Amino acid sequence: MRIEKDTLGKVKLPDNAYYGAQTQRAVGNFPISGLRLPRRFIRAQGIVKLAAVRANGSLGQISKKLVRAIERAASEIIKGMYDDQFVVDVYQAGAGTSQNMNSNEIIANRATEILGGKKGDYRVVHPNDHVNMAQSTNDTIPTSIYISSYEAVRDDFVPALTHIQNILLQKAEEFDDIVKSGRTHMQDAVPIRLGQEFSGYAEAVRRDIQRVIRASESLLLLPIGGNALGTGINAAPGFRSTVVKEIRKITGVKFKSCESLFEGIQNVNPALELSASIRGVAVTLTKIANDIRLLSSGPRTGFAEIQLPAVQPGSSIMPGKVNPVMAEMLNMICYQVMGNDTTIAYCTQASQLELNVMMPVIAHNLLFSIEILSNGIMAFTDKCLKDIQADRSRCNAYADATLAMATALNPVIGYASAAEISKESYRSGKTVKQVSVEKGLLKESEAKKVLDPRRLTGK
């Protein structure tokens, strides 16, 4: 063990720990969930600290020797070499002060080590004076949220959505000649092609991708440089523009400074906007997953229009049963994402005066939503969607049997007469075509043309 001091006094902590006294206090104060902010967020913290020390160095605020040491330590954070040293619970000090100090202390101790000193000797490299120079929790934490979320959307979420959209388009083409009965209000409707149904799913996902990309662009405006409240107190002239320029160099992303640093620190609305778009994706995917479950229901007593690949036994008591487990998994994820979005909405609303103090929970829920939905989409697409098979004869039988075929008679015999044909068809168990011919309303050849299911689905 070693003993460190902070402004409240002495603290004991493990000698091999790179974190320091303030982090150790947070570990003791917040034994809540065992949850930690994820790798992407920690990487973003490293990016912010690296950019800040480079900016301060270029502005003559810190010696070249310290710049090199802090640069190396921050770069190691970015690479993930000390993830196990980020030990603060998600539910922690407001705004993420503990999380910010966790990174400051790790970098300070590692930089001290690089310069030949011992961990805890902050006379060499100080977590506040050097690593946190010209920064505050209040601008580094939202900046880390935006960097990590933008990269997660770009690298994981949009590729996953693009993948499922492409597979849905493939299925739409594969199933384009299969006619079935449509359903509205869970009742028989006019014919539709199975491929048309899947094309609707693909288009819904495409539009969601556009919405997510638009929302992610709001993350490009960073509040870094505003320091505690947006005034930039203790920052050298030019720090704000220089640190953003360094972040752009490190990430390759065209980040910019907020138009108003005061607004950027008071609110975390870009996270809210992105979360809302992700919730929209979850709503779309819930609909698709539910439809897949319905269309594959059976195999003897349900719709049974499609068959899903069997990936595991479905029951601990009913032999041979196979369930739509991948669709069910996706549903669970979507419901979790909707709950996460509600949490983010309440946390964003909780901004008071000059600061939002709920940022750690916003960061956790936003990155969690992106992670589980990205992974869930890939698993659902690869283990279920791409290997779906259609039961052509079953679909065609439903197309012939639907009572809504009588809709096609409206222009020929009128709505009222067509309704009577539909009722008679239901009472007798005969098709609309059979009843129309038997009643002499249409000749066989006319009925075949007017009530051709494929023709009724359009081009």
Query: Of 133, 159, 193, which residue constitutes the final position of a domain?
Result: 133
Total-model pTM: 0.95
d(CA 389, CA 387): 6
pLDDT at 145: 98
Each residue's pLDDT expressed in tens, for the chain with a length of 459 residues? 999 999 999 999 999 999 999 999 999 999 999 999 999 999 999 999 999 999 999 999 999 999 999 999 999 999 999 999 999 999 999 999 999 999 999 999 999 999 999 999 999 999 999 999 999 999 999 999 999 999 999 999 999 999 999 999 999 999 999 999 999 999 999 999 999 999 999 999 999 999 999 999 999 999 999 999 999 999 999 999 999 999 999 999 999 999 999 999 999 999 999 999 999 999 999 999 999 999 999 999 999 999 999 999 988 888 889 999 999 999 999 999 999 999 999 999 999 999 999 999 999 999 999 999 999 999 999 999 999 999 999 999 999 899 888 898 899 889 998 899 899 999 999 999 999 999 888 889 988 899 998 999 987
At residue 98, φ and ψ (nearest 5 deg) are -65, -40
Residues 203 and 160 in one domain: yes
Q: Are residues 331 and 347 in the same domain?
A: yes
Among candidate residues 141, 154, 159, the one with its CA nearest the CA of residue 47: 141
Q: Of 113, 80, 87, nearest to 101 (Cα)?
A: 87
Give me the number of domains the chain comprises.
Answer: 3
Given 33, 63, 241, 315, the catalytic residue: 315
pLDDT computed for residue 447 by the predictor: 86
Structural domain harbouring 386? 139-230+262-392
Residues 290 and 183 in one domain: yes
Of the three residues 87, 116, 133, the one that is the final residue of a domain is: 133
> Cα separation of 341 and 278, whole Å?
8
Same domain, 57 and 166: no
Kindly state whether residues 381 and 272 are assigned to the same domain. Answer: yes
pLDDT at 316: 87
364 is catalytic: no
pLDDT at 441: 85
Single out the catalytic residue among 33, 185, 296, 425: 185
User: Is residue 245, in this structure, part of any structural domain at all?
Assistant: no
- Over the chain, what is the mean pLDDT? 96
The rounded distance, in Å, linking the Cα atoms of 167 and 287 is 17
Nearest CA to 353 out of 229, 261, 223, 227 is that of: 229
Residues 126 and 154 in one domain: no
Q: Does residue 248 belong to any structural domain of this protein?
A: no
315 part of the active site: yes
Distance (Å, whole) CA 329 – CA 290: 11
Same domain for 126 and 203, yes or no, is no
- Name the DSSP class of 61: S
Residues 425 and 372 occupy one common structural domain: no
What pLDDT score was predicted for residue 442? 86
